Homo-oligomer: A and B are copies of this chain.
Amino acid sequence: MTSKPAVGDRLTEAALTLFDENGYEQTTVDDITRRAGLSRATFFRHFRSKEDVVFPDHDRLLEQVRERLVSSSHATALVAVSDTVRIVLHHYLEEGELARRRYALTSTVPALRDREIVSVARYQRLFREFISEWMGDSSESAALRAELMSASVVSAHNHVLRRWLRGESPDPVREVDEALQQVIVLFTGPPEPASGNGTTIAVFSSGQPADAVIPALRQFLNSAEIA
């Protein structure tokens, strides 16, 4: 017996195919259901809307992030949030080609683009609330700081994710580490220089562009690690 694939999968398959062939707006829900050999009613039982075909498990992912946040034990809120946002990145990385297929759609179709912006804002809100509660401080400036932190973490994540989606990032996991580290440094300042032993001092003339100095420094640090 040809064990029929799940109804939801048949619908998404039909939908994505038609979106590629004729475009998103040009494809009606009736087109999709005809192609899948199902009825219009079943479509809306499996997806709340036409857009939901493109973003199926977004709710589940958001819930996953929420759970990770409440069960997180970290030294600082910023680190906890940075750690949590990696879940989202990994989710997309595991989707692989599907994620890129969706990216091609969201880049093209305004309605889908807007929808993704909204969903990103949901993550950011979650992070902001977590940071605010974690800090306890309910002052105005603390609220602003929480807002800046959540916005930065989300921006760092999206930056790396989009680079990977465009095929510009061979190692997104490393890149997101760097990006999040940069955010942490931004807010907590550079790590305190421990005086005495185990301290590296680099001296060079200023006024040079960063890219002129960094390669040499990177090479030095890498060789120092080995030693």
- Tell me the A residues contacting B by CB distance below 8 Å: 114, 117-118, 121, 139-141, 143-144, 147-148, 151-152, 154-156, 158-159, 163, 174-175, 177-179, 181-183, 185-187, 190-191, 193-195, 198-222, 224-225
Contacts and interface: CB of A to CB of B under 8 A. Distances in A.
B185 A186 contact: no
Contacts of A175: 140
B155 A148 contact: yes
Given A144-B179, A209-B225, A216 B152 contact: no
B200 A141 contact: no
A51 to B, nearest CB: 12
Number of copies: 2
A187 to B, nearest CB: 7
B205 A202 contact: no
Nearest to A185: B216
Contacts of A198: 205-207
A219 B148 contact: no
Given A182-B219, A186-B187, A203 B211 contact: no
B199 A224 contact: no
A155 B149 CA distance: 10
